[in-house]
Amino acid sequence: MGIRVRLLCVVAAAFISPQVAAESLRCSGGIVDEGDSRVSVLYKCGQPLLADSFCAPVYYSGTLNPVPEPFASIVVPCQLTDEWLYSRGTGNLMATVRIRSGTVLSIKHRRDPQ
């Protein structure tokens, strides 16, 4: 019975542990991964179909609490973030590339942009 309990614990832990998967974007000029530069994305994929820039809030180090006013607007108002949308053709999902501080922060594939 001890081996069954151990096996059950291992299987349960595999399903409970968070899945971390970095996505990538395949373009005609190469593959874009998280951590690539803005210039690399433009070189590999060309100009995006749509581009948006916004000011993302700054959070305390290691927490999910945003820096409150008035400190946020005086010291570190926000982090400029760009989102670029790439259409990958008929039958493929749209790719949204989020860029912060000149590097790719994340790549998401969806049917419709969000």
pLDDT digits (tens, 9 = 90+) for 49-93: 999 999 887 776 777 777 766 666 666 677 889 999 999 888 889
pTM: predicted TM-score of the whole model, two decimal places: 0.69
Domain ranges for the chain, please list them: 22-110
> Per CATH, which fold does 22-110 belong to?
Beta-lactamase Inhibitory Protein; Chain:B, domain 1 (3.30.1450)
- pLDDT tens profile 88-109: 888 889 999 999 989 999 999 9
12-57 pLDDT, tens digit each = 545 554 445 578 999 999 999 999 999 999 999 999 999 999 988 7
Under 8 Å between Cβ of 85 and 109: no
DSSP state of 111: S
